[in-house]
Amino acid sequence: MLILILQFIFFIPLEISAEEPYVLMVSFDGFRYDYMDWVDTPNFDYFEKRGVKADGLIPVFPSLTFPNHYSIATGSYVATHNISGNSFYDKSLKQKYSLYNSNTVQDPRFYKAEPIWVTAEKQGIRSASFFWVGTEAPIKGVSPSIFKYYNGNIPFETRIDSVITWFRLEKDKRPQLILLYFSEPDKTGHEYGVEGERIIETIRKMDNLLGNLHEKLKTLEIYSQLNIIITSDHGMTDVNSDRLIILDDYMSRVEDIYINGNGSHVQLDHKKGGFDYADKLFQELNRIPHTLVWKKSEIPKRFNFVNENTGDYLLLADEGWFISTKSTLKEEELSLRGMHGYDPQLINMHGIFYAMGPNINSGLQIKSFENIHIIL
């Protein structure tokens, strides 16, 4: 029996069928909760009418790609699973983790919670992944039966064809759980923002992609046993150079502080010997407009963010504002037009959730829920 089951309210009891269920979970990176309201999306609508749709999917903090994909996979917050950003400094390992560094992405020491594919494989259930965060690392010594090392140049249709091939394998080699990742509409949102024809065009393309995926899935022998989950990791909001916060303009001793991250939020740590600057630094951080700042011990519990790697301070920008330093920005204007990573309570950070299949209720609209509850 497949151990990956959504919250019970979504599902029809498995006992009604003697056939083993299959699960395909698909992530459209950066697909905001309301994009479907902007353009016709007949293929997403098909899933809505025949399955479950949530008003939105609430990300964990920070509302970034790597933390949220790993939260979806583990059912845990950043405080537990350790992947606190797309890049972060691990103080116990004394090493920086970065999505751009394959050595760290593939290092199991960074991943502190057990993802669903490890649980499945340990129970004899085969899994496969086309680019899900964490699947490149042998976590607890276990990898998916089939997985790919990330290469963003691989066309989306090629990824779909691979999934179809995997579902057509002989039963003893066939995965029951497959994870599939697409980097859009996140890429378009970052480059062009959430206004205008560019994002509309990409939403249409993703709807067509979903339609192509579904048509190919329907040709499978196991289609009648297949439960399909469509999700995203976070939403998106507009940013521009008029809402740019340069920390050098507010901090008198930037050289005495480690600044980790940029964009929606940064973490700050005192360098050795720099604690005489602590009181003044906190005062300076509190004066930065369009931000909130907390000492580590005072970070809101609802963020579920604090672990051994957390900085001495967390500085969080208001929605649409972008934090950086002169050395990091390296140019006078901000090139990005869209950003995320902000407070998960902000509705523009919310993603999507659809589910359809033989073990899933039909025509059910539910309220927004946190993405850690997808997998029990």
Confidence of residue 340 (pLDDT cuts 50, 70, 90): very high
Percent of the chain with pLDDT over 90: 88
* pLDDT reported for residue 334: 80
Nearest to 68 by CA among 367, 349, 376, 356: 349
Residues 135 and 143: beta-carbon distance below 8 Å: yes
Average pLDDT, the chain: 93
The domain made up of 8-237+344-373 is a member of CATH 3.10.580.10? no
Q: Which two tokens stand for residue 51?
A: 């399955």
Q: Which residues contact 71 (CB under 8 A, 6 or more apart)?
A: 59, 60, 77, 78, 81, 371, 372
Nearest to 199 by CA among 348, 354, 45, 65: 348
Can you tell me the distance from the alpha carbon of 326 to that of 27, in angstroms, rounded to the nearest whole number? 34
Q: For residues 2-17, give the mean pLDDT.
A: 44
CATH topology of domain 241-335: Gyrase A; domain 2 (3.30.1360)
Q: For residues 353-365, give the mean pLDDT.
A: 96
In this predicted structure, the answer to whether residue 14 has a pLDDT above a threshold of 50 is no
Confidence of residue 331 (pLDDT cuts 50, 70, 90): low
Residue type, 69: H
Can you tell me the distance from the alpha carbon of 185 to that of 191, in angstroms, rounded to the nearest whole number? 10
The residues pairing with 356 across neighbouring beta strands, listed in sequence order, are 228
Residues 51 and 356: beta-carbon distance below 8 Å: yes
Can you tell me the distance from the alpha carbon of 98 to that of 112, in angstroms, rounded to the nearest whole number? 16
Alpha helix (H) residue ranges in the chain: 42-50, 65-74, 78-81, 102-105, 116-122, 156-167, 186-192, 197-217, 278-286, 326-329
Residues 253 and 281: beta-carbon distance below 8 Å: yes
More confident site: 314 or 276:
314
Question: Do you know the residue count of the chain?
Answer: 376
Domain 8-237+344-373 identical in fold to domain 241-335 = no
Can you tell me the distance from the alpha carbon of 284 to that of 251, in angstroms, rounded to the nearest whole number? 6
* pLDDT reported for residue 268: 96
Summarised one tens digit per residue, pLDDT across range 251-292 is 999 889 999 999 999 999 999 766 788 899 999 999 999 999
Residues 106 and 79: beta-carbon distance below 8 Å: no
* pLDDT reported for residue 183: 98
* pLDDT reported for residue 333: 59
Nearest to 195 by CA among 244, 239, 241, 245: 239
Q: Which residues are catalytic?
A: 65
* pLDDT reported for residue 125: 97
In this predicted structure, the answer to whether residue 375 has a pLDDT above a threshold of 90 is no
Q: Where are the domains of the chain?
A: 8-237+344-373, 241-335
Cα 362 to chain centroid, rounded: 26
Nearest to 355 by CA among 37, 117, 125, 23: 23
Can you tell me the distance from the alpha carbon of 150 to that of 106, in angstroms, rounded to the nearest whole number? 10
pTM value is 0.94
Summarised one tens digit per residue, pLDDT across range 73-98 is 999 999 999 999 999 999 999 999 99
Nearest to 270 by CA among 296, 299, 249, 291: 296
Q: Beta strand pairing status for 265-270 and 369-370?
A: unpaired
* pLDDT reported for residue 10: 47
Summarised one tens digit per residue, pLDDT across range 18-30 is 578 999 999 999 9
Half-sphere exposure of 106 (CA within 13 A, CB side): 8
Confidence of residue 328 (pLDDT cuts 50, 70, 90): confident
DSSP states of 302-335: GG---STT--SEEEEEPTT-EEE-HHHH-SSS--
Residues 352 and 232: beta-carbon distance below 8 Å: yes
